Amino acid sequence: MSTPSIPTSSVSSLGKVAVLFGGTSAERDISILSGTGVLEALRARGVDAHAFDPAERELVELKREGFARCFIALHGRHGEDGTVQGALELLGIPYTGSGVMASSVAMDKVMTKRIWVADGLPTPKYVRLAADQQSREQVRVVPDLLGLPLIVKPPREGSSIGVTKVQGYSEMQDAVTLSAKYDADVLCEEFIEGEEVTCAVLGHGLDAQALPVVRIAAPEGAYDYQNKYFTDDVKYHCPSGLPEAEEREIQRIALAAYRTLGCRGWGRADVMIRASDRKPFLLEMNTSPGMTTHSLVPMSARAVGIAYEDLCVRVLASAALDSEGKV
């Protein structure tokens, strides 16, 4: 899947580009890291790219200032949940990544699971606790349904924010309280004991392709916010070192998960491989993946000969609008 550098003539046709990063979500700091990397990469390839923080400027300025397309390097709410995508649709400015509906659905892990389950794709069992279902009595019975340990997390946040691994009944209430600080709903999920991997996807529809799988080895299995972004303790393996059949199966379900949600441009599926039987389970789909120095999509792309700068240009070149009929 190697790709040559984008010709200079093609780069110039991309026009004036806004890299959207920062924003107002709990993932603002990570977005700034991602966006800064993308901005520098695009400029290194000769793209007329400019920083744009929606937390500091109104999106309508994009139209006033003549931007031809946007690279969305926003993470979390108001960035990858369909809201910015909808605004750009109204402004008529093509943007990277999935459209309004796919972005909105993929941001909500409960809705994502419902679609995957309906399509027969493997995902851990779960219980959704709405705002009026979080009494001590209701919270206490969740381990009876999912077993222990289990995971408690806000369904519409990313970067492991507000996530707790619950080992016993006594920890449930604190875990739910923490998650509820970030989201009115709380997602309780069966814990899959095993290896964590991730699989990036580039493209659209039947032309979409899965990149090599990245296997994640975190200290004591703690692939949390701190370890993801601010330490070098996590080890990433690409090639993954998995048996070829396992790698192909993970790529297959990642592609299926991407397509059934209607994603386009690029995305990244996070997957757990259960140790007991090596069965993979889909955790979530990221429609605006991280692009920091620790990020996994660039790592996977490098494994097939796509340099970071070329990956950024390739994603930018795929920018589109829902109204163009490409969803």
Could you read off the pLDDT of 303-327 as tens digits, one per residue? 999 999 999 999 999 999 998 764 4
How do residues 71-114 score in pLDDT, each as one tens digit?
999 998 899 999 999 999 999 999 999 999 999 999 999 999 99
Point out the catalytic residue in the list 268, 295, 300, 322: 268
Each domain of the chain, given as residue ranges in start order, spans: 8-96, 105-122+192-317, 126-190
Residue 229 annotated among the catalytic residues of the structure: yes
| Catalytic residue selected from 270, 309, 310, 322 | 270
The verdict on whether 159 is a catalytic residue reads yes
| Mean pLDDT, residues 226-254 taken together | 85
Q: Which of 159, 179, 295, 300 is catalytic?
A: 159
- Whether 286 is catalytic is yes
* 254 or 9, which is more confident: 254
User: By mean pLDDT, which of 133-137, 157-161, 167-171, 187-191 is the weakest?
Assistant: 157-161
Same fold flag, 8-96 and 105-122+192-317: no
Q: Which residue has the higher pLDDT, 34 or 11?
A: 34
Answer for the pair 218, 172: CB distance below 8 angstroms, yes or no. no
Asked if the model's pLDDT at residue 168 lies above 70, the reply is yes
pLDDT, tens digit, 9 for 90 and up, residues 119-137: 999 999 999 999 999 999 9
The CA distance from 287 to 265, in Å, is 9
The question of whether 58 is a catalytic residue gets the answer: no
- Residue range 8-96 in CATH 3.40.50.20: yes
- Residue 194: is its pLDDT beyond 50? yes
4: pLDDT strictly greater than 50: no
Strands 186-190 and 164-166 turn out to be: unpaired
pTM for the complete prediction? 0.91
The DSSP secondary structure of 259-327, one letter per residue, reads HHTT--SEEEEEEEEETTT--EEEEEEESS---STT-HHHHHHHTTT--HHHHHHHHHHT-B-GGGT--
Cβ(319)–Cβ(69) under 8 Å? yes
What pLDDT is recorded for position 221? Answer: 58
Name the catalytic one among 246, 284, 310, 322.
284
Catalytic annotation, pick one of 182, 229, 258, 308: 229
Domain 105-122+192-317: which CATH number of 3.40.50.200, 1.10.3370.10, 3.40.50.10860, 3.30.470.20: 3.30.470.20
- The yes-or-no answer on residue 89 being catalytic is no
270 noted as active-site residue:
yes
Q: Which residue among the candidates 27, 157, 196, 247 is catalytic per the annotation?
A: 27
Domain 126-190: CATH architecture, name and number where available:
2-Layer Sandwich (3.30)
